[in-house]
Structure 1
Amino acid sequence: MHAVEPRFEVEDDAAPLDMLMALFGARGWPCEANAEEICGEIQGSWAKYQLRGVWRGEDRVLQILCLPDVRIAPEKLAAAHELVALANEQMWLGHFDVWSNGGVLLYRNGTLLGNDGMLSLDQAQSLVEIAVEECDRFYPAFQFVLWGDKSPQDALKSAMVDAAGEA
């Protein structure tokens, strides 16, 4: 991958990766891209997240992946999978997964674009904001399970109470 400059004004609908590049550029987020994927880093409330946009033109699907740099030790996999299932029950868009190769936690959201395969600035902003917000919302619960030895149910309850109390 290589750093690239956006090729259009961000007010227009554009090819999905071009729009994401423009959004990253406007926000000052470093990114690299090729014809099928953009990868950048975004600061969330709890950690820096790697954000990827993967475009499948033949299906007109843009997949957003947000990786909070959480690796799950083999002995914590069962609890992490249980927490993923509990967290996913509370989500409207996207879901969490644990990649079987390396035990990496990630948020994933696939968006089917219209026949023209174009993405608006509002859509791009929403997809990125939702990914980061969901990672921020559940990050403490994963830390409670992985490092605090809480049960998935207790970790989720604690994380949701703490998040509700933030000002």
Structure 2
Amino acid sequence: METALNDNIGNEYGSPMDVLAALFDARGWALDTHADEELGGEVQGAWVKYQVRAVLKPEDSVLQLICLPDIRVGKDRLASAYELLGLVNEQVWLGHFDVWSQGGVLVYRHGALLADDGMLSVSQAQALIENAVEECDRFYPAFQFVLWGNKEPAEALEAAMIDAAGEA
């Protein structure tokens, strides 16, 4: 992903949802929801299009970014998926992966603390989305290997990390 927006947006601060909406617009990403405290859209990753959701909790000055790689975990693969989640989350510095109990959907979540004024900069917004997409891209193959390739979690993670290193 590029590291700078076009000049008419710059490094300004604003309400998190407005800044994120401007970022989506500047990047040409599909934005399907935009409300005072929630935003959603699609961002193309290396493997798939990710659903990206942002939910603002202004009373706590927290912005939660959720990235959905469109992977569902069947009950028969849940134990392996949880084992892989533990291994993957050891590698993640910001945010974490989880499986939602409702529907078995794999998610990446990151809660970002906002400044006391509740504002978000364009560069912060961009970093949040870039990090989410990069982490989903980095571990997408491991989840594929476990869920559809029937590999053991440690073997899947090792194979995915080798593949990722080869693409750089």
- The answer to whether TM tops 0.5 is yes
Unmatched runs of 5 consecutive residues or more in structure 1 = 1-7
The equivalent of 1:5 in structure 2 is none
Report the Cα distance in structure 2 between the residues aligned to 1:151 and 1:9, rounded to whole angstroms: 46
Task: Indicate the percent of aligned positions where both proteins have the same amino acid.
Answer: 62
Q: What is the TM-score normalised by the length of structure 1?
A: 0.93
Per-residue deviation at 1:30?
Answer: 1.3
Q: Deviations over 1:57-109 (max 9, x none)?
A: 00000000000000011100000011011000011100001000000000000
Output the CA distance in 2 between the equivalents of 1:99 and 1:151. Answer: 21
Partners of 1:93 and 1:82 in 2: how far apart? 19
The list of structure 1 runs, each at least 4 consecutive aligned residues, that deviate by more than 2 angstroms after superposition, is 8-11
- CA-to-aligned-CA distance 1:22-50 (integer Å, 9 cap, x gap): 00000011112112100000110001100
Which segments of 5 or more consecutive residues in structure 2 lack a partner in the other structure?
A: 1-7
- Alignment correspondent of 1:18: 18
Alpha-carbon distance in structure 2 between the residues aligned to 1:37 and 1:10: 23
User: How much is the aligned-residue C-alpha RMSD, in angstroms?
Assistant: 1.1
Per-residue deviation, 1:11: 3.6
Aligned length: 160
1:51 aligns with 2:52: yes
Q: 1:33 maps to what in 2?
A: 34
Distance in 2, Cα, partners of 1:70 & 1:63: 20
Q: Distance in 2 between matches of 1:115 and 1:135?
A: 30
